[in-house]
Structure 1
Amino acid sequence: MVFRKTLLAVLIGSVAALAGCNSSSNDVDDKTTTLPTSDYTNIIDRAGNPDALRDYDEYDNLKYNAFVDNGAWHGHLLPADANGYGAFGGIMQVTQEYANFMSGQTFDKLHLLDKTSGNVIDLANATANIYSTPGALVQILKTDQVEVQMFLRFVTDRTSLVETKITNLTSDDLDLELSWDGELLQNAYEKPNDNGGVTTQTIAEMYPDYKRTISATDNGIKINFSDMKENWAIRNDSDAEFRVTRSIPTITAASGLTFKSVTAAEIDEHESMTFYSAYSNLHNAKEVQSETQKVQAILANPASYMNKSQARWDEYLAKGLTNAQATPEQARVGVKAMMTLNGNWRSAAGDITQSTVTPSVTARWFSGNLTWPWDTWKQAYAMAHFNPDVAMDNIRTVFQFQVQADDEIRPQDEGYLLDVVTYTKPENRGGAGSENWNERNTKPSLASWAVMEVYNALISEFDRKDDAQAFIDEMYPQLVAYHNWWLNNRDHNGNTIPEYGAAVDPAHNTSKSEGNEIYVKAWSADDLRELKWGFITAKVELLKDEPNASGQSRYKIISMDNYNTLLDNKKGFDVGAVSNGAKTATSWESGMDHAARFGEIYDLSRVNSTGDPEMDQLGRYANKKNGFDNDLTQNGKIYAYTDSSDENLAKLLDARLDWEVRFAENRTNDNSPTGTLLGFSMLQESVDQASYMYSDNTYLVQMAKLVSPGIAAEGDVKRFTDHATFIKDYINTCMFDEGTNFFYDIRMVDKHGQDSAYEKNGIMCAGKPLVERGQAPDGWSPLFNGAATQEYADRVMDVMLDADKFDASTKYQAKGISFPTASMDNPAYEANIYWRGRVWLDQFYFGVSSLDKYGRADDAVRIANDLFDNAEGMTGDGAIRENYNPETGAVQGATNFSWSSAHTYMLYRGFFK
């Protein structure tokens, strides 16, 4: 750290004048605080010393779990070692859509100099007691001369506050120089690489336009940042600031990325002095002006703000920890889940006008105030029991952007909920732009489930009946509009069983002037523009991508007819990997990205992209089904089937058709070609969406009876009741397979694209159960939602408890976690695949709830206990993760993941009694 000598001289010369201002007889006010204590210390490992803005683990998570609370936009770490004693300097900064570290552990570190002797009182040599509680970070540092107590709490939605108490342990008065210094991180990126080392890049190399400057303010510093956009890692405006403000007078010198502040203090023998430091992360000049005034009020009466923060956490724990039968370990997991959800709470900022909850503040793609509906329903359901106001606001954030009839971009989507909303709207919606906003798809309809849980909790647990009534009065019309959108825009055959699909969007269809036609991109060694392949050649374009490793070129294939020709491939043209934007949006819409039922299975293209011949899942499936010879020959780095005869490859093509997903356009006027394009439906009715639609109807019936007069339309109760009855009959009649004792999606056309509707027990089923793509958690969604008959539920539960299918904690004793996202005998299963193997705790919770609801409570508790015991870090101090390996319990994906935490909290609350 380098300062100009003239600035240091000014500091040293000014310190003496401050001594009388900072003395043991001059504490800030006469109110007192209590050093944070708790039965729940060090629940999550909060220690760390960041080396880079993007100091990542292998999954692109920030490596350390900063403490963030009260909806704030920054967090702090405990020191990783003695060098960091005296600071909570590892600061995580949330910049609109991303989170990054700003500084290492020694930033704003307190130094003590005994001016009488000239000796440094080195806190690195102190006896240290360092810990976290659910609502605070604490350091107690003791040397021969002094004890320094420091603790940090969040006191507003932009500011954290550190109380520092220095006690003179000697029998002599102490004349001290206090100083703080620090330097901003200079590395941009650090992440483990495949070679066992670490890849590092500096900010100058990676973000040369990112300018940061520290300057002095009254009794503190401010850090200014240059405007940063469109880099997928840092996003802030040029008037954003980070501020540090102290309650005692200081003199500061700052130069570039470094600073030093100095003051003097006199502490009488065996007396103490207390002062405060406020840390504020602010998005723009308006926030700077507002929060600066708040900070002055805080520093005028800091203890009261600290005590209010403590009281807030006392209330969370009192309301949230209600399971007296839970073991101490289970209760600690419940607290960890509450801490994680509150840590992912972001207060109102940018275009989002109320609080929200994000999937993970520490995960690269899930931070900022990014809000998804599917995550929101689960987060709100859990937070209803300890932080109901944030639960309500999280739901409101999703509905803030519900599409209205006069929408300028998609008026055809009235009632639609967008998949991801962000700090600022995209430019085409009049905003300042966004890198993560997404309206290609929505998410499943569990909204009413969440709203009713909040309503009931407000009444029964918080005695807030008026607030509960106001909330369902507010939400009911919006929920009905969302319900109606599914029936209007995602029900291709008009039988009131919606499909998953994709909205009109340039990511998967051409522009309106070009016909709004669906398109896909495919690699091929053949020129797909030639007439002999059967395409409409005017709608096949050669793209400018460089040939891939197999020497294939990439083509854009436009129109539904061309897409179906690609699937059927009767002419035998070469096809490698196909990128289908509509299928991607459809899988996102389900909340189960790339699940097997959406045709996702690894094939030869995956083998050649990874170099791993074991990735040929489709070849093995074709071998088992059709006798396909799936032996591979390697030529250099490229694998090919040894038997490339037409006869053998025809067996592969037939098998591939079992995994191909077809689409249809949804248009007004009964899908008339001249009707307005509403979007695209996968020609597959999904059993989970049908089940969610069933429960949505049942909850809307309840709400229609509860809302204030004039809010529900006449006939709503009958309409929703009748629809629920029909869906329940449809699911049990059409979606259960007698041969395999499980529920499945049903394909609305056969593998060759022909209509497959048939009548059964007086109901017209859209098609047969899609058994070929194996079993997965969607098969127990009729149980979770209460739509299954007891007879079918019993048979499904037998499958769920089969150790060779789903009961992995029985198969892999003392390490497995049950309910992987594909059965272990599914052709597309592999333990590490995102949605075809890994255990996701929403589907896990739906599974144990299904067992409990239909009479297998003992098995539900056993499997829940196995999760707590076997999931890596769960009962220790590890973060709750996005997903887990079903065979080993190893953590995977995002750290500090909200919906995992929500369901973990629900398990604590409901299953250990």
Structure 2
Amino acid sequence: MKKIFFFILTIGVVPGAFGQRALFPDVLDLRADPPEGKRIEQNVFSDMGAWHAYALPLQPKDYGAFTGPLVMDMNGRWLSDAVSRLAVAVNGQQRDFAGAKAEIHYFPGMLEQSFVWKDISVRQQLIFVSGRESLLHTQIRNHSTNPVQLRVAYSGRVKGMEVKNTGLEGQRFSITWPATDSTYADSLGYAAVWKASLRPGATFDQTQRHSFAPDGHHPNNQYDFNTELKKNAARWNGYLSRYFAGTKRLSNDEKRLAVKGIVTLMTNWRSASRDILHDGVFPSVNYQGFYGVWSWDSWKQAAGIATFFPRLAKNNIRSMFDYQDEYGMIADCIYADKSENNWRDTKPPLAAWGVWEVFRASKDTAFVREMWPKLVRYHEWWYKHRDHDNNGLCEYGSTDGTRIAAAWESGMDNAVRFDSAVMLKNNAAAWSLNQESVDLNAYLYAEKVYLARLGAVAGERNHFTEAALELKRLIGDRFYDAPAGYFRDRMLGAPKHVPVDGPEGWIPLWAGIATPAQAAAVKSKMEDAKKFNARVPLPTLSIDHPAFDPEDGYWRGPVWLDQFAFGTEGLRRYGYRKLAAVLETKLLTGAEGLLADQPIYENYHPLSGKGLNARNFSWSAAHLLMILKNK
């Protein structure tokens, strides 16, 4: 028993192999029965921008196999329940993995299964080595005092794939393995077999290379697994060390949440492929409609990713600006098939903020100089195409004249405040809502502030500081509803404000526009349990509004973590640090599964804490990383 116990310990915590990441096993529960087809809600593991992913087995009958892969392109589907399933026989006797001492874990950057019997032990490890390739390594060790005869077999489904002595080949997925002693296949699957005589203390080692290439271009690389494992551990330990540098007050649960945020973003990372020209981050690997890269998602993701991996943060921003049009517009979203890109609208202007956050983390002045002219063109685009009456205050709108695309442009697709808005034509390819939105103009004010800072870094003289001061005056005059004590939208030509209270009302605090008296009034609503201070605070619609409907409302009541974070940052900006900390604690403890091994959701029910909509959502993870930095 002592030998077995020591072996299990060395698998889990040897510092040279794992280092810091050994402290964070299973921050996300990846165990599940094998899914089928396009049911992709299962938590999965991917890395390095790969377009395929795996999960851990739940049932003992599936031990010895990693679930999947899930393969992705314009949508996702499970290629197999287990494309590589291990079977081991010792001296002619088949071993039952369910009867072994089993350890099955998800470490940041690696899946691992280990099985121990009295005479032998088996360890399987799966890591990614590129944006197309993963390695599955198997090690079998003889712990007995006698030689043993091994029969090692891997089997799986092979529909649409050709089986060869050194692997499987398909149009976009392939497996490469060492030459076999025997290989066979039929219409149901394949088996590849290796035989070996193992002396006492010796090991049998084998590495398979799995490759999925959505663009059809398979790499032909050779890898040494031990070398790659060391690189993998160093890379992941580097991510964690960079993030945790300077954080001193996080609890163990909060540290695990931070790591869960990091692995969520890394699993949603997709490398450049086909019409996606730079690496980007999907909103969620678990929702078919999110297999692309979105603009304001990218700005927020970049701000969070910059806390541990600035290079990816920069490319995430570049991926959207690769498609900036001749007028300066940024598309709502882009896909691996650019014919599907959505040019009907853009998204709220937070790009300069995202670039500034990346610069703060990386100090990369070359990146700022690269982005500067693109950011200026995008900023100027808003005033040329989304200011219907040319009064210096912009409206959300669309390129096709449809109201639904204009609502999408706000990012708050079905927000109650837009229920009475109609479309107005600005020019041949630009329409606006007949409603000036306080959040849009507050974002534009913040962009001017950040553009002024970025211009100084880039060595570019600019007028954005002066322009920001003028816009600040206009916003205060136009959008603050003094009787209500809140910032609200205004219809063009209407004498009164739109009588709806949502997160748009605290964005002026985040941007630094509000006067101290205005901030105090907004703060009083944010801390009011009848308005916004719910179990999970700061929902997207005041609790007392008749249309409040978190379960089915999307932007009519759920708590979105980006708007939550803007709210608490705004409170801190005006000195309400204690309230901000209280609200953040309520979020972390009240939102379902945040401090457990459950996925980070797109949004949360403010009253019950239930996770809503897409799982493993990128901008939620990014903002959690920023929120935890406030500790």
SS in 1 for 2:333: coil
The match for 2:582 is 862
Q: Tell me how far apart the structure 2 counterparts of residues 266 and 736 of structure 1 sit (CA, whole Å).
A: 80
Question: How far 1:274 moved relative to its partner?
Answer: 1.6
Name the residue aligned to 2:11.
none
3-state SS in 2 of match to 1:455: helix
Matches within 5 A, 1:424-823: 424-426=337-339, 434=340, 437-459=341-363, 468-503=364-399, 505=400, 508=401, 582-599=402-419, 660-667=420-427, 677-708=428-459, 712=460, 716=462, 718=463, 720-750=464-494, 767-771=495-499, 774-808=500-534, 816-823=535-542
Correspondence for 1:395: 317
Question: In 2, Cα distance between the equivalents of 1:662 and 1:66?
Answer: 42
Question: Using the alignment, how far apart are the partners of 1:51 and 1:385 within structure 2?
Answer: 34
Secondary structure class of the residue paired with 2:429: strand
Report if the CA contact (8 A) 2:180-2:192 is conserved: no
Report Cα offsets for 1:626-648 as digits up to 9, x if no partner.
xxxxxxxxxxxxxxxxxxxxxxx
C-alpha distance in 1 between matches for 2:240 and 2:293:
25
1:101-140 map, 5 Å:
101-104=78-81, 106-114=82-90, 116=91, 118-140=92-114
Deviation at 1:119, TM superposition (A): 1.6
In the alignment, which residue of structure 1 is the partner of 2:573?
853
Matched-pair contact (CA < 8 Å) for 1:48–1:90: no
Instruction: Pick from 44, 61, 69 the counterpart of residue 66 of structure 1.
Output: 44
Q: TM-score, normalised by structure 2?
A: 0.95
**What do residues 133-173 of structure 1 show as CA deviations (whole Å, max 9, x unaligned)?**
11111111012331001111111111111221101122211
- In structure 2, the CA distance between the partners of 1:687 and 1:284, relative to structure 1 (3 Å rule), is closer
Q: What is the CA–CA distance in structure 1 between the aligned matches of 2:27 and 2:251, rounded to whole Å? A: 15
Counterparts of 2:625 and 2:454 in 1: how far apart (Å)?
Answer: 26
Which residue of structure 1 aligns with residue 141 of structure 2? 167
**Other-structure match for 1:100:** 77
Offset of residue 835 of structure 1: 0.4
SS at 1:77 equivalent: strand
Secondary structure in 2 matching 1:802: coil
2:17 to 28, 34, 37: 34
Q: Which amino acid aligns with 1:904?
A: L
Cα shift at 1:218: 4.1
**Offset of residue 250 of structure 1:** 4.8
Q: Does 1:827 align with 2:578?
A: no
The 8 Å contact of residues 34 and 67 in structure 2, kept in 1 or not, is answered as no
Query: In 1, are the aligned partners of 2:34 and 2:57 still within 8 Å (CA)?
Result: no
How far residue 787 of structure 1 moved from its aligned partner, in angstroms, is 1.1
Question: Offset of 1:176 from its aligned partner?
Answer: 1.3
| Matching residue within 328, 353, 378 for 1:415 | 328
Whole-Å separation in 2 of the counterparts to 1:74 and 1:51: 15
Q: Are 1:182 and 2:95 matched, yes or no?
A: no
Contact 1:215–1:255 at 8 Å: present in 2 too? Answer: no
How far apart, CA to CA, are the structure 2 residues paired with 1:257 and 1:860? 58
Structure 1 distance, partners of 2:450, 2:501, is 28
Give the structure 2 partner of residue 315 of structure 1: 238
Shift of 1:34: 3.0
* Aligned counterpart, 1:615: none
AA partner of residue 56 (structure 2): L
The separation in 2 between residues aligned to 1:51 and 1:874, in whole angstroms, is: 24
Task: Please report how far the alpha carbon of residue 908 of structure 1 lies from its aligned counterpart in structure 2 after TM superposition.
Answer: 0.8
The share of aligned pairs that are identical, in percent, is 34
Gaps of 5+ in 1: 1-31, 56-61, 185-211, 225-239, 405-413, 427-433, 460-467, 509-581, 600-659, 668-676, 751-766, 809-815
Contact 1:214–1:255 (8 Å) recurs in 2: no
Alignment of 1:185-334 (within 5 A): 212-222=159-169, 224=170, 240-247=171-178, 249-285=180-216, 287-288=217-218, 291=219, 293-294=220-221, 297-298=222-223, 301-322=224-245, 323-334=247-258
Is the CA contact (8 Å cut-off) linking 2:51 and 2:214 kept in structure 1?
Answer: no
Contact 1:89 1:109 in 2 (8 A): no
1:823-849 CA-to-partner distances (Å, cap 9, x unmatched) read: 011232122211011111111111111
Cα distance in structure 2, aligned partners of 1:818 and 1:483:
32
Question: Taking structure 1 as reference, are residues 744 and 163 closer, same or farther at Cα in structure 2, changes over 3 Å only?
Answer: same
Residue-by-residue CA offset, 1:579-634 (whole Å, 9 max, x unaligned): xxx221111101111001111xxxxxxxxxxxxxxxxxxxxxxxxxxxxxxxxxxx
Amino acid at match of 2:285: V
Q: CA RMSD in A?
A: 1.6
Could you tell me whether the CA contact under 8 Å between 1:221 and 1:252 is conserved in 2?
A: no
> What is the SS of the residue equivalent to 1:172?
coil
SS of residue in 2 equivalent to 1:54: coil
Q: Is the Cα contact below 8 Å between 1:92 and 1:99 reproduced in 2?
A: yes
Which of structure 1's runs of 4+ aligned residues deviate more than 4 A? none
**TM-fit CA distance, 1:894:** 0.4
* Alignment-mate amino acid for residue 802 of structure 1: D
Residues 88-127 of structure 1: CA deviation (Å, up to 9, x unaligned): 1332111x211222221x431111123x4x3212223211
Which of 146, 151, 170 aligns to 2:125? It is 151
What is the aligned counterpart of 2:30 among 38, 46, 57?
46
Contact 1:587 1:594 in 2 (8 A): yes
Deviation at 1:902, TM superposition (A): 0.6
Q: C-alpha offsets along residues 840-882 of structure 1, whole Å, 9 cap, x if unaligned?
A: 1111111111111111111111111111111111111001000
- Give the distance between the partners of 2:424 and 2:22, measured in 1 at CA: 58
Q: Secondary structure at the match of 1:401?
A: coil
SS of match in other structure, 1:252: strand
How far is the alpha carbon of 1:49 from its aligned partner? 2.3
Inter-partner Cα distance in structure 1 for 2:115 and 2:68? 18
Q: What SS class does the counterpart of residue 415 from structure 1 fall into?
A: coil
User: Contact between 1:111 and 1:179, CA under 8 Å: does it hold in 2?
Assistant: yes
- Tell me, in whole angstroms, the C-alpha distance in 1 between the residues paired with 2:234 and 2:300: 26
Partner of 1:842: 562
Pairing partner for 1:89 from 53, 58, 67: 67
Residues 843 and 393 (structure 1), Cα distance of their counterparts in 2 relative to 1, 3 Å cut? same
C-alpha separation between the residues in 2 aligned to 1:858 and 1:250?
68
- Structure showing greater Rg: 1
Q: What residue identity is the alignment partner of 1:47?
A: R
For 1:220, the aligned partner's letter is G
Q: Distance in 2 between matches of 1:695 and 1:33?
A: 45
Q: State the match for 2:7 in structure 1.
A: none
Contact kept? 1:880, 1:896, Cα under 8 Å = yes
- Quote how far apart the aligned CAs of 1:247 are: 3.8
SS at match of 1:78: strand
What is the distance in 1 between the residues matched to 2:253 and 2:151? 45
What TM-score do the two structures reach when normalised by structure 1? 0.66
User: What is the SS of the residue equivalent to 1:213?
Assistant: coil
Task: Report the equivalent of 2:305.
Answer: 383
Mapped to 2, the partners of 1:256 and 1:417 lie a distance apart of 48
Q: CA deviation at 1:33?
A: 7.9
| Contact 2:537/2:606 (8 A) holds in 1 | yes
CA distance in 2, matches of 1:257, 1:420: 40
1:213-236 deviation digits (Å, cap 9, x = unpaired): 1221342112x3xxxxxxxxxxxx
- Distance in 2 (CA, whole Å) between partners of 1:862 and 1:284 is 48
Amino acid of the structure 1 residue aligned with 2:343: E
**Partner of 2:602 in structure 1?**
882
Q: Which amino acid aligns with 2:297?
A: D
Displacement of 1:248 after TM fit?
Answer: 5.2
